[in-house]
Structure 1
Amino acid sequence: MDRRLATERCEACRPGAPRVPTAELPGLLAAVPGWERIDRDGSDRLRRTYRFPDFASALAFTGQVGTLAEAEDHHPTILLRWGQVTITWWTHVIGGLHRNDFIMAAKCDAIYREMAPAGDASPAG
């Protein structure tokens, strides 16, 4: 796994900013294993579900992702359930995927690795 994305900062994204070129998608997806590229309403998105032993742990993770989103000024869709958090990233203003989405996916994985019990740092697929 390439963890360099997690050290990058998001850049301000304005209408008309370029989406990730199709040719670059395989390399970026390989850098965030476990994230799936999905299509919602004609818009490419990244999605991943993380598993936790209880609701409190899932809620704590959600809070940390929220703090990160505010710091980077890039916000996901978050679905919180007992023992699970599903994160979906895409750049609303361009209606698709920007490098920022891959940066934030990598940062979410880093948060999860820090929170996971010893020996269990693999989120659900």
Structure 2
Amino acid sequence: MSDLHELKCEACQVGAPMVTERELVELSQSTPEWDVHEREGIKQLERIYKFKNFKQAWAFTDKVAKLAEDEFHHPAITLEWRKVTVCWWSHSVKGLHKNDFICAAKTDLIFVSMQD
């Protein structure tokens, strides 16, 4: 796992720079389980996590929600039976910012911690 999970999100205002294509490639190497999807012209990071049951998926969702509040950066979270889909993107810049990769790495860390 990269060191991204050790970083803190920075305040991201309208007009903040999105990641460049080069940064996207580099940051994607640090978050290899995440896919970049474009929805309505907006790039987003997405990953689907699988669980043994709904209760574990729900507990994971709660932890990701706490992360979002702690970082003041909020993803789309879809909770389903035995799986959770998380999408990170920066609403203010309508695309991907380094914050999204930081939160993706922290989300992965939450998932790993729940597997023990």
TM range (shorter): over 0.9
> Structure 2: which 5+ residue stretches go unaligned?
none
In structure 2, what is the Cα distance between the partners aligned to 1:113 and 1:17? Answer: 31
Q: What SS does the aligned partner of 2:44 have? A: strand
User: In the alignment, what sits opposite 2:115?
Assistant: 116
- Counterpart check, 1:61 vs 2:60: yes
Per-residue Cα deviation, 1:50-102 (whole angstroms, up to 9, x for no partner) = 00000000000000000010010000000000100000000001000000000
- Counterpart check, 1:49 vs 2:86: no
In structure 1, what is the Cα distance between the partners aligned to 2:113 and 2:16? Answer: 33
In structure 1, what is the Cα distance between the partners aligned to 2:62 and 2:27? Answer: 26
Query: How far 1:24 moved relative to its partner?
Result: 1.1
**Regions of 4+ moved over 2 Å:** none
User: In the alignment, what sits opposite 2:97?
Assistant: 98
User: In the alignment, what sits opposite 1:77?
Assistant: 76
Count of matched residue pairs? 116
Q: What SS does the aligned partner of 1:94 have? A: coil
TM-score, normalising length: structure 2: 0.98
Query: How far 1:23 moved relative to its partner?
Result: 1.3
In structure 2, what is the Cα distance between the partners aligned to 1:101 and 1:27? Answer: 13
> Structure 1: which 5+ residue stretches go unaligned?
118-125
In structure 1, what is the Cα distance between the partners aligned to 2:59 and 2:16? Answer: 33
In structure 2, what is the Cα distance between the partners aligned to 1:60 and 1:23? Answer: 35
TM-score, normalising length: structure 1: 0.91
Instruction: Kindly provide the amino acid, as one letter, of the partner of residue 9 in structure 1.
Output: K
- Counterpart check, 1:15 vs 2:14: yes
Q: What SS does the aligned partner of 1:33 have? A: coil
Q: What SS does the aligned partner of 2:17 have? A: coil
In structure 2, what is the Cα distance between the partners aligned to 1:107 and 1:41? Answer: 26
Instruction: Kindly provide the amino acid, as one letter, of the partner of residue 75 in structure 1.
Output: H
